[in-house]
Structure 1
Amino acid sequence: MTELASSPRAKRPEFRNINALTDLPTYRLPPAGWVSILHRVSGALMFVLMPFIIWMFDTSITSEISFAKFSSAFTIGLGFVPGWFFKLVALSLIWAYLHHFIAGLRHLWMDVNHAVSKEFGRSSAIVTLALSLGLTAILGAKLFGLY
């Protein structure tokens, strides 16, 4: 027993002053950290793209002519902006909504069930990332006309 207590252990690195250029690129963020950051990013993205969301909604329900204009914006474009760019913005909104929704359900589940453990945090974060990216890929394939 004294042999184990007296053996020198490897000293862990201490970070007192973190340099953003040298330390952050090598830092490995756990999946729960990525989900947390992406939850904030997706919320900000939906907020910033709110005028586009309002334009899409207004143009799609005003009249049949405006719906045709809305549909053509995604196929041939609008003004100098090509149609694929509108699809890409819509795809980013799809991802933002799905990720924000699924990550929000994850946070609610953890709050209600007091499921705050390292194992559950990691596994639920991986499920959240997989679901949001998988559903985005499926809906993106539909958006770009692959099926």
Structure 2
Amino acid sequence: MPYDQRPKNLNLASIRLPVPALVSILHRASGALIFLLLPVLLWALQQSTEAGGYAGLVNMMDSAWIKLPLLVLIWAFIHHFLAGIRHLTLDMRFGLEIRQARRSSKLVLVAGLLLTLLTGIWLW
């Protein structure tokens, strides 16, 4: 079939990604989120080392408007860590079969959400 006559799907909302692809995309997105929020985390670390800064930081973290983005950041850390371990095992040639890859992807998603939920309960 010539290149010009191949079917094209321009509706991105109708494309169904397999679970391993979703985990891979979320791994990249969580890494980007962690990287972009690194200056804020370093600022918070600096504030916590100053004399009155720690009490102010703890007071600020008591707000629900801060806890929710913090919970998203915690999810990003947990997901990035778990998906990174999954990618490392794939690089070592473990779990390359399609059933194993799907199972490990689902495990990363479920474990990431469960650990984030438990952390959120502990934080709140």
Q: TM-score, normalised by structure 1?
A: 0.75
2:7 is aligned with what amino acid?
R
* Number of equivalenced pairs: 120
Match of 2:14 in 1: 26
Larger radius of gyration, structure 1 or 2?
A: 1
1:3-32 per-position Cα deviation (integer Å, ceiling 9, x unaligned): xxxxxxxxxxx9622213xxx322221110
> Taking CA–CA contacts closer than 8 Å with sequence separation of 6 or more, which of the two structures ends up with the larger relative contact order?
2
Runs of 4+ in 1 over 4 A off after TM superposition: none
Q: Does 1:118 pair with 2:112?
A: no
Equivalent in the alignment of 2:79: 99
5+ residue gaps, structure 1, are: 1-13, 76-82
Q: Does 1:67 align with 2:71?
A: no
TM-score (ref. length: structure 2): 0.88
**Deviation of 1:56 (Å):** 1.6
CA 1:38–1:98: 2 relative to 1, 3 Å: same
Which one of 5, 11, 16 corresponds to residue 7 of structure 2? 16
Task: Select the structure that is richer in helix.
Answer: 2
Q: Give, in angstroms, the shift of residue 115 of structure 1.
A: 2.9
Match of 1:79 in 2: none
5+ long unaligned stretches in structure 2: none
